[in-house]
Structures are given as C-alpha cells and as structure tokens.
Amino acid sequence: MPNYELLKKKPFYLNNSQVLWVKNTLEALTLDEKIGQLFHLIMYEYEDEHLRELVHKYKIGGIMGRQMPLEDTCKAVTYLQKESEIPLLISANFEAGGDGMIAEGTNVGPNMQIGATANPEFAAKQGYVCAREGLAVGANYAFAPVIDIDYNFRNPIVATRAYGSDPRLVRECGVAYTKAVQEQGMAVSIKHFPGDGVDERDQHLVTSINSLSCDEWDASYGEAYKACIDAGALTVMIGHIMQPEYSRKLLPGIKDEDIMPATLAPELLNGLLRDKLGFNGMIITDATTMAGISIPMARDKMVPYTIAAGCDMFLFAKNLDEDYMFMTRGVKDGVISPERLDEAVMRILATKAALKLPDKKESGALYPNTRAAKQIVGCKEHKDIELMVADNSATLVKNLQGIIPIDINKYRRVLIYPLFTGASAYGSDGFENTQLIKEFFENEGFEVSIYKAESGYTEGRVASYKGMVDKYDLLIYISNLTTKSNQTTVRIEWAQPMGANCPNFQIDIPTIFISFANPYHLLDAPRIRTFINAYKLKESNLKAVLDKMLGRSEFKGVSPVDPFLGRWDTRL
C-alpha cells in the first residue's frame, strides 16, 4: 500500500482532502488506467482526432506542447482537459519564456543570457514570465530550469541553455527560477539530473557521462539540485547521462558494462536523488526517443525498467502502441511491481493535487480563456523585462582596438560577414537579420555591404588584398551558430577557398565579431581584437548591441563562462 503520509511533506504539502483525492483516485483506477498515467506524450498541433485517442484510448497522465499559435494552444488544452477524466499535466520547455509553447510568447532570454546579467533576480523575472504566459494558455508544468553547468565548451547542447560555468551562479539562478514559477502555481522540473555539461557529447545522440568524482559532483551539481529541492521543486527530469563514480560508490563491484544512464540506474534515482538529496517529488524521464536511453538497453526492456528503476513518468514514445505494450507487459511480468506502479502513479496524482488541478477542473478554471490569454502573452510588462535583460546582458569580451563606441567619421564603410546556421528573429535562415543590421547602420549614415563568398575554387584569383583595405573601414562578423540537439559540434565552418571569409584582414582593417549564440567563437577567431557575446539572435538583443556599439549605452554584461577557453592566443 502506498505511503500517503509522504504526500503531506515537501514538496507536495497536501492537506487531508487532497491526500484523500489521491488515494480515492488511485484506488479507483484500473490497471490500464494506471499504466496510462505513466505516459507524458507530445503535441505539435491542435488535432481533435489524435488528442482524443491519447485521452480515451491511452488515458495519458500528461502532454507536452511544442510551439503553436496562441488560439490553437488554448483550444488544444481546453479539449484535452475536458475530455480527460483526470486532469492532465500540460508541460512545455519554458526555458526562456512563453515562446517555449506559444508562438506569440515572450522570449526573455536563454539561461546564459540571464547568467550574463550576473543577477539571479533576472532568473526570477524569467520564471515569472514563463509561468504567467504558460498559465494563461492552460499549461501547468515547466520543463525548466536547466541547472546543467557548462564545464565543457565543446558540448553542443548545453552552452546557452546553461546559466554559466560557475556552480554558485547556476544554483542561485535555478533557485530563483524555481521559486518564481511555483509561487504562481506552475510546477518546475529541474534538469537534467545527474547533470549535463561535463561531457562534450549530446545525450540525444549517445549515452553521455558526467565524469566528476563524487566530491566534485557534491560541490557542484549536488549543491544545485539540493538547493532547488530545498526551494520546493515539485519534479526532477532525469537525463540519459551516466554518473559512474556514484554508481560505483553506491554499487561496489558494479561492472563497467552495467553502468547505466540515470534514467535506468536505481542507485542514482533512489540512492542519490531520493536518499542523499532528500527528493520526495515526482521523477520524470527526459525524452525516451533519444539515443542516450535506447543504446544501452533493448527498448522492450528499457520502457518498463525506467519505472522499475525509480522514474515515475515516461516522457514521449517512439511507437506509442508498441511502448504502451512494452509497459503493460513489464507490469504483468513483474518488472514493475504492483507496489512500484502504485507509488509512481501516487506521485503523479500528488503533483496534480499540489497544483490544485482537480479543484480547477471542478470550478472551470482549468480551461484557458483565449481573450484573457491575449492580454497576458507578449504584454508590455513582459517585453519590458526582455528589454531589461538585453540591456544588462550584452557582453563586451574584448575591445583591444578601442573602436567601441564606433565613430562614423572613422569607420563609415562597413562590410558585414554573416555566419548564420540558425533561425532568425523572424523565423527563417537569418537573411532578415542581416538586412536588419544593414538597415540599422545605414540609417545612422554608414555605407554597408554584405559579404558573399565567391563560387568555385578561385585560389590565385580572389579579391585583392589592397582592394579590401582601400574599400572598407570596418569589418563586422555576425554569428548565429545555435545551441540545439542532434548535432555533434558548434564550430565555425569557414568558406572555401581556404577560409575565404576568415578574419584575414583584421590587422589592417578594424574587425568586430558579434556572436548571437555560442559564446566560444574566439577558439576559431582568436586574434579578433573586438569581440561581443549577445547569446541569442532576436530583435531586442540586436538593438541593444547596436546601440551599445554606437555609444548610446554601456556594455553591462559579465561573461558567465570563460570566452577565452583558458587559452593565451584568444586574448591577443
């Protein structure tokens, strides 16, 4: 029998009537309904037939929303909550703002941009906007904050998603976000336990490793998780990341081949997270469609073993019919004991009770009001917070030439080198941002050209050195090589032939490099003497950086990581 007394403690703090709702609901569920509660799936659009199947056939416990138009989001959430007998957990990647779910949502800034303000209060503001906009469209669960630590600059998936490389800053920002979100009635999920950012590989593509010693882990990731748990975090998201030193400590004699990612490691879920760190809330896996969890264990065994190992909720499915069958078979074959199944479902229901979802369903408050949501999502208050973050985060890493602020009388003729692989502020390949920058400078009286690499292999016949020096007063590199999943590196790939767009002229022509994403590009452009990090390519950041370049305001950002990568040549 589940220990319902646990639900009166942190982080749930349920009263007697709420505990009774959990108990009565759990006891009334059929086996299939209990299994359905374990699944937390995904929606990309408002589609009645698909959503109806998820609710009625599978009786899922929750669903994550990808970015959709506001009206469609409200319709989908209303439909799901009305059709589901038990209220659903409605989640999204609210890492940077309401735009994690809502196309019209505010993007306050990625975590590293918040870290560059050196002020955790901005993490609280970030969380405030995330919760306010998410709740307005009916969401109740943030897959955030990311409390990974960006120790390894080669990691392609952490980077700007982390608050920085300083464990104290990450801890303080994570706590600030957690409190701000949960004070408004939305659950957080601190992630990605046991912590990403040590390995240079992406857990979407491989089972990665947090290779810190137990003492090192305790003093960094451990403190961040403990602080957020103490702050009341309702849930923890588990990464497909191994922590071999703790696995070896908690299971002496374990063979290397038996060391599993945390999603499949009872010693990490129970021995470390629950027992050592004292976490009593709900545990959810990271996406089970990732290679990091699929590689070390056959899927038919892996699906039920996530729950048997100690996770309470299973995120996404590769083939829903098949994964549901694997989970059901795991229950019937005893991989998941009846006690473990009830404990997992109890914590899922307790999370819903802690968010007062049953009461909201009864009162009608569970269903979003589209008109009211439009007054909140993207409102002036939230946009003003975005502008404050932009103003306080833009970071002047190097100004060795002393050319900032830019004097138009000395640097009128400008050549811009675009290095774009990510989406623009307007949702395409970055061309509009190049044009926006070009127009901004032209409106100030500059003469602006855009560099385009010559086609074909033209070594020996490229544009002349003297022609470049005589033609331009200033060169500006604009980079947007974004942090995203399913890539193995974030490095500049210079144009042919022989790095045609490399900073070959930086000695003779003053050169500025602005990164609107990855903060580590000095690795590939080490001798550029004027370097700016702005962390995300969006209009508020563009305008803030350009205003500061022209001397209208000062650069206030403080690097939350080492942009010099510990190298001497990057400081030249």
Q: Which two tokens stand for residue 211?
A: 């290779």
Question: For residues 503 and 475, what is the distance between their CA atoms, to the nearest angstrom?
Answer: 9
Instruction: Report CA-CA distances (Å) from 489 to 112, 209, 418, 482, 526.
Output: 18, 17, 19, 10, 18
Question: Phi and psi of 141, rounded to 5°?
Answer: -150, 120
Whether the CB-CB separation of 25 and 351 falls below 8 Å is answered with: no
Question: For residues 240 and 311, what is the distance between their CA atoms, to the nearest angstrom?
Answer: 12
99 as an active site residue: the answer is no
> Which of the following is catalytic: 286, 323, 391, 473?
286
Give the start-end residues of each E strand in 409-546: 413-420, 447-450, 474-480, 511-515, 530-533
SS3 state at 224:
helix
SS3 state at 365:
coil
SS3 state at 14:
coil
**Closest to 306 measured CA to CA, from 87, 86, 40, 62:** 40
Other CB atoms closer than 10 Å to residue 421's CB: what's the count? 16
Whether the CB-CB separation of 188 and 153 falls below 8 Å is answered with: no
Report CA Rg, the chain: 25
Whether the CB-CB separation of 286 and 238 falls below 8 Å is answered with: yes
Whether the CB-CB separation of 437 and 478 falls below 8 Å is answered with: yes
Q: What share of the chain is helix, strand, coil (3-state, %, to 5)?
A: 40, 15, 45
CA dihedral 486, 491, 497, 500 (to 10 degrees): 130
DSSP of 370-412: HHHHHHHTT-HHHHHHHHHHHHHH-EEEEETT---S--TTT--
User: Which ranges constitute the DSSP H helices of 57-109?
Assistant: 70-83
Other CB atoms closer than 10 Å to residue 31's CB: what's the count? 12
Question: For residues 127 and 138, what is the distance between their CA atoms, to the nearest angstrom?
Answer: 16
Half-sphere exposure of 57 (CA within 13 A, CB side): 10
Q: Which two tokens stand for residue 510?
A: 């003053």
Whether the CB-CB separation of 104 and 69 falls below 8 Å is answered with: yes
Question: For residues 311 and 295, what is the distance between their CA atoms, to the nearest angstrom?
Answer: 18
Catalytic residue ranges: 286
